Amino acid sequence: MQEIRRDQLEDICATALRAAGASEGDARLVADHLVDNDTVGHHSHGVMRLREYVDAIDRGELIPSARPRIVSESASTARIDGGWAFGQVVAEFASDLAIEKARVTGTSSVTIRSVKHIGRLGRYAEKVAGSGMASIIFTCGGGHGINQAPFGGVERKLSSNPVAMSFPSGLDGPYVMDMATSVVAEGKVRMYRGRGLQTPSGWIIDSEGNPTTNPQDYYDGGAILPLGREEGHKGYALAFMVELFAGLLSGGGIPGDPTDSFSNESMIIVLDPERFVPLEEARERASIMTDHIKSTRLRDESRPIMYPGEIEAAARAANQERPIELAGSTWEGIVSVLRQFSLPEPPGDLPDLGIRVEEVLAALDEGRLER
């Protein structure tokens, strides 16, 4: 376990991404997303991804200097080609465009294709809600990241195809739902394996289709089951529809006809609540409903009922000033990236990191440092 301050960690990541070929703006944006995802407790979408992103750059799958491009658009729609840029850069661009279009016509839908890992959908959903708008986001893997068995099937054919939705609130954080359409995201199975634990029953099957709690069985050709368990036909149907909206309408890859490499193709739908009811009234009435639902008698007094997004809002508030705790393997991944680009390694106890983006930029400009 390694403890590190948010701003230090963000500097390290931005420096590494800059060295890997990203512009300063893109490096900062991606670093901010990664560190924020750790801050709200979603480490599977946090800085542990840095090593993976740099590997994708090394393989030529992620083009760090690429910019998203609008392929076609109408009053309420746009189709964006990400040019294999950082997913966060493409998804932020698409979210901004969807918000802009919804402000003009009231509703919009924007797709992205040829786009690497976009990270946590909730981050874009939060952004839309922060602009006073509501969102629905569908994401698939372009026919890659296949991990989910269709209901009644015993082999992987779908990605975990997440769905996010958001709505402005008058509370600490916006209403944000962000969920895999499989029982769990693959990252959780990986976490159980990493810790040497058995997964809860009902998550995975082995390569023969037998239920198992050994996470290794998933990696040996097993599959994750669809959301719903006995009602897995619902999670499967959701995952299927996500492929149609995000994969097909982005013009990207789908199971059975994939892209060359993993592509986090997405559909971002944005609605302007003001076209329906005054936003303040919506916020107030949403709070009435939230109080009403949170007042439900509890199964376990120590586990209160949360509104969607409450966990992340609470974690962000609690962790903003705290150092981030990183797993040893995550820290090793970061250090390996720093070494790859001959960047100074932070001292073990990190009292002062001694790495600043400005220094690296200057070193790059002056030819003291190579990409």
Contact indicator for 115, 138 with CB cutoff of 8 Å? no
- Residues between 194 and 213 with contacts to a copy of itself, criterion CB under 8 A: 200, 202, 209
CB of 14 to a copy of itself, least distance (A): 33
Contact yes or no for 5/351 (Cβ under 8 A)? no
Of residues 181 and 330, the one with the C-beta less far from a copy of itself: 181
Count residues contacting a copy of itself (CB under 8 A)? 84
| Candidate segments 12-20, 75-83, 87-95, 353-361, binder of a copy of itself by CB under 8 A | 75-83
d(CA 161, CA 178): 11
Contact by Cβ (8 Å): 135, 124: yes
Instruction: Write down the residue that tokens 């969607």 correspond to.
Output: 308
Among 65, 72, 216, 320, binds a copy of itself (CB under 8 A): 72
Segment 251-280, which members bind a copy of itself (CB under 8 A)?
251, 254-257, 269, 271-273, 275-277
Query: What is the footprint of a copy of itself within residues 140-159 (CB under 8 A)?
Result: 149-155, 157-158
Q: Which residues does 122 contact at the CB level (< 8 Å), separation at least 6?
A: 40, 42, 164, 166, 176, 178, 309, 312
Q: Which is nearer to a copy of itself, 144 or 157 (CB)?
A: 157
One residue of 22, 50, 137, 286 binding a copy of itself per CB under 8 A:
286
Cα(326)–Cα(3) distance, rounded to whole angstroms? 6
Contact 118, 91 (CB under 8 A): yes
Tell me, what DSSP letter sits at residue 200?
P
* Stretch near a copy of itself under the rule CB under 8 A, chosen from 10-18, 62-70, 288-296, 328-336: 288-296
Q: Which is nearer to a copy of itself, 155 or 345 (CB)?
A: 155
Cβ atoms 18, 357 nearer than 8 A: yes
Residues paired with residue 78 on neighbouring β-strands, in sequence order: 73, 110
- Which of the ranges 28-36, 67-75, 336-344, 348-356 carries the binding residues for a copy of itself, by CB under 8 A? 67-75
Smaller CB distance to a copy of itself: residue 79 or 116? Answer: 79
| Binding to a copy of itself, residues 228-247 (CB under 8 A) | 228-231, 234-238, 240-241, 243-245, 247
Cα atoms in the Cβ-side hemisphere of radius 13 Å centred on 68: 28
Subset of residues 325 to 344 that bind a copy of itself, contact rule: CB under 8 A: none
**For residues 102 and 357, which CB has a smaller minimum distance to a copy of itself in the complex?**
102
Q: Does 74 bind a copy of itself (CB under 8 A)?
A: yes
The dihedrals phi and psi of 115, each to the nearest 5 degrees, come to -140, 130
Q: How far is the CB of 257 from a copy of itself (least distance, A)?
A: 5
* 305 binds a copy of itself, rule: CB under 8 A: yes
- Name the one range near a copy of itself by CB under 8 A: 13-21, 221-229, 318-326, 350-358: 221-229
Strand partners, 164: 137, 178
Please enumerate in sequence order all residues whose Cβ is within 8 A of that of 371, keeping only pairs 6 or more positions apart, or say none: 19, 20, 21, 341, 364
Q: Among 107, 213, 261, 340, which residue sits at the site for a copy of itself (rule: CB under 8 A)?
A: 107
Taking the complex as a whole, how short is the minimal distance between the CB of residue 232 and a copy of itself, in angstroms?
10
Which residue in 175, 218, 331, 341 binds a copy of itself (CB under 8 A)? 175
Q: Which amino acid is at 207?
A: S
Q: Does the footprint of a copy of itself cover residue 77 (CB under 8 A)? A: yes
CB closer to a copy of itself, 285 vs 368: 285
Kindly report the length of the chain. 371
- Choose between 106 and 323: whose C-beta lies nearer to a copy of itself: 106
Torsion of CA 88, 94, 95, 101, to 10 degrees: 170
Binding status of residue 293 toward a copy of itself by CB under 8 A: yes
Is residue 167 a contact residue for a copy of itself (CB under 8 A)? yes
Tell me if 90 sits within 8 A of 66, measured CB to CB: no
Tokens representing residue 191 in the block: 């976490």
Taking each helix axis from N to C terminus, what angle separates 24-39 and 310-319, rounded to the nearest 10 degrees? 100
